[in-house]
């Protein structure tokens, strides 16, 4: 067999050939135009991947010329060491491609692609905050199995250490299609908001300071609150944007066998389900005082009564429940540096999400169904969630209306993007809505 230099030359040429077979998504993914990614998201992803492939191809070419030139006199071990570094980078580039592929390939699935495009629009809307100078990244969503959603935040590291140009949100299939999808989606968006505002470190400092002033007996509870702050910040955003729809959706996600709902895992960044729902109610009651929050909390205790616990766990549960309004107040009133003196509650749409206002808006929807299409997506979700909570909207009708909304948002965003590319105004295209068939009672 030929020597090491010949073998590595052949391997380098093989890598270059395989790399050339990795095409841009726009050349090999088929989907309806309305299911496509938003232009800013697609451009950011394609540019990111193209630059990665270009940089790797340049390094492969440099290695190839080195191997046939100065490197020919190097030892086989050194030739191999340099090649292995390149092959490692090659696998990183492929892993980065795969990170985005599932989210984009689903856009070709019948029905699913349109839903995903509409959910993208809702996610971007939930990311908007009235904060001057705040730059928000593109967001793309995809469906996957499992009960919970997840996010890979923009500007976090991908394989190889490169920073992701977009936020990628995984939406659980079992959330489709109902108000629960909004709760899961906006919670994950809340993690991106927390990163943009550098929220968690400043919350941790404030909570640690307050914890030192609390009674000694409460310290186990405050250690847990401190550990859970990342998830608490995301839940705050969800409740602040969606109102009671957030809490009802959360209950759907964490409705598990009792052992899981009541189990305290100190290494888990998520509050355990029983206290997490109570904290969501406490946050909601601070933002939008109303008897509904106490009703939801009582319902949760009826479903999972905090009884039959050992003395130590009973004491911890009591401490957590007692300090729940305190931690809720700290988070709602927190003033991170990025907000220049404003509290978190000041940048949330509190006035628009009160139960009384959402109920009045639902009356407007019944009188004029097109109101939902004129409303921001997050507000539309909040209106429907409040109607569900009040027994005015049946689950069957809610699912049908949300399906219709997602389709409409996908269509409108696609036409708006197209209109920006042509000089003439784009004509309005009618779309049959399901909203007029809403029932006023469940």
Q: Are 201 and 346 found together in one domain?
A: yes
Residue 268 lies in a domain: yes
128 vs 193: CA distance, rounded Å: 9
Q: Are 290 and 429 found together in one domain?
A: no
Q: Is 145 helix (H, G, I), strand (E, B) or coil?
A: coil
Q: Are 275 and 210 found together in one domain?
A: yes
Q: Are 201 and 327 found together in one domain?
A: yes
Which residue, 302, 324, 350, sits at the end of a domain? 350
Q: Are 88 and 56 found together in one domain?
A: yes
Residue 146 lies in a domain: no
Which residue, 56, 91, 108, sits at the end of a domain? 108
435 vs 366: CA distance, rounded Å: 8
Q: Are 432 and 377 found together in one domain?
A: yes
Q: Are 202 and 343 found together in one domain?
A: yes
Regarding pTM above 0.75, the answer is: yes
Q: Are 301 and 412 found together in one domain?
A: no
Tokens at residue 209, please? 């300071």
Residue 165 lies in a domain: no
Q: Are 314 and 363 found together in one domain?
A: no
Q: Are 323 and 433 found together in one domain?
A: no
Q: Are 345 and 360 found together in one domain?
A: no
Domain count, the chain: 3
The candidate with the shortest Cα–Cα distance to 232, out of 201, 269, 262, is 269
Residue 78 lies in a domain: yes
268 vs 270: CA distance, rounded Å: 5
The candidate with the shortest Cα–Cα distance to 160, out of 99, 102, 98, 96, is 96
Residue 117 lies in a domain: no
Q: Are 362 and 311 found together in one domain?
A: no
Residue 61 lies in a domain: yes
Q: Which domain holds residue 379?
A: 354-437
Residue 130 lies in a domain: no
pLDDT in tens, the chain (442 residues): 468 888 888 888 888 888 888 878 776 666 677 888 888 898 899 899 989 999 999 999 999 899 989 988 889 999 999 999 999 999 999 888 888 888 888 888 777 888 889 999 999 999 999 998 889 999 999 888 776 789 999 999 988 899 999 999 998 887 676 667 899 999 999 999 999 999 999 999 999 999 999 998 899 999 999 999 999 999 999 999 999 999 999 998 898 999 999 999 878 999 999 999 999 999 999 999 999 999 999 999 999 999 988 899 999 999 999 999 999 999 999 999 999 999 999 999 999 999 999 999 999 999 998 899 889 999 999 999 999 999 999 888 888 899 899 989 988 888 887 677 655 554 444 444 444 455 444 4
Q: How far is CA 162 from CA 25, 78, 83, 107, 157, in A?
A: 19, 26, 20, 25, 5
Which residue, 50, 73, 108, sits at the end of a domain? 108
């Amino acid at each position: 067999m030929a020597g090491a230099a010949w073998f590595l030359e052949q391997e380098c040429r093989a890598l270059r050939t395989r790399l050339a077979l990795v095409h841009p998504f726009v050349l090999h993914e088929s989907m309806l135009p309305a299911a496509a990614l938003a232009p800013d998201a697609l451009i950011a992803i394609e540019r990111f991947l193209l630059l990665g492939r270009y940089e790797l191809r340049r390094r492969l070419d440099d290695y190839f010329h080195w191997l046939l030139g100065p490197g020919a006199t190097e030892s086989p071990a050194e030739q191999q060491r340099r090649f292995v570094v390149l092959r490692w980078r090659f696998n990183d580039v492929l892993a980065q491609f795969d990170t985005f592929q599932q989210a984009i390939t689903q856009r070709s699935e019948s029905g699913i692609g349109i839903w995903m495009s509409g959910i993208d629009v809702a996610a971007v809307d939930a990311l908007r905050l009235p904060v001057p100078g705040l730059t928000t990244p593109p967001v793309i969503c995809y469906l996957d199995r499992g009960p919970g959603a997840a996010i890979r935040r923009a500007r976090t590291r991908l394989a190889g250490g490169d920073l992701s140009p977009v936020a990628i949100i995984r939406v659980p299939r079992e959330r489709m299609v109902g108000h629960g999808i909004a709760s899961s989606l906006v919670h994950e968006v809340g993690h991106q908001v927390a990163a943009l505002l550098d929220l968690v470190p400043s919350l941790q400092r404030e909570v640690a300071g307050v914890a030192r002033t609390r009674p000694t007996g409460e310290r186990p509870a405050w250690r847990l609150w401190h550990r859970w702050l990342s998830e608490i910040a995301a839940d705050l955003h969800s409740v602040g944007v969606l109102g009671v729809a957030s809490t009802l959706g959360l209950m759907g996600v964490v409705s598990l066998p009792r052992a899981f709902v009541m189990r305290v895992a100190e290494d888990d960044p998520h509050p355990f389900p029983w206290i997490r729902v109570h904290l969501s109610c406490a946050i909601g009651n601070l933002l939008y005082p109303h008897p509904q929050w106490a009703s939801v909390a009582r319902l949760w205790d009826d479903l999972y009564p905090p009884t039959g616990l050992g003395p130590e766990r009973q004491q911890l549960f009591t401490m957590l429940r007692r300090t729940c309004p305190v931690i809720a107040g700290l988070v709602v009133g927190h003033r991170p540096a990025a907000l220049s003196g404003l509290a978190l509650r000041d940048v949330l749409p509190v006035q628009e999400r009160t139960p009384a206002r959402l109920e009045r808006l639902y009356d407007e929807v019944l009188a004029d169904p097109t109101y939902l299409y004129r409303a921001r997506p997050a507000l539309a979700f909040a209106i429907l969630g409040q109607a569900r909570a009040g027994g005015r909207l049946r689950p069957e009708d809610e699912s049908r209306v949300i399906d219709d909304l997602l389709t409409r948002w996908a269509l409108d965003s696609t036409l708006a993007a197209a209109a920006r590319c042509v000089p003439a105004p784009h004509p309005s295209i009618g779309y049959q809505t399901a909203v007029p068939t809403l029932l006023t009672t469940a």
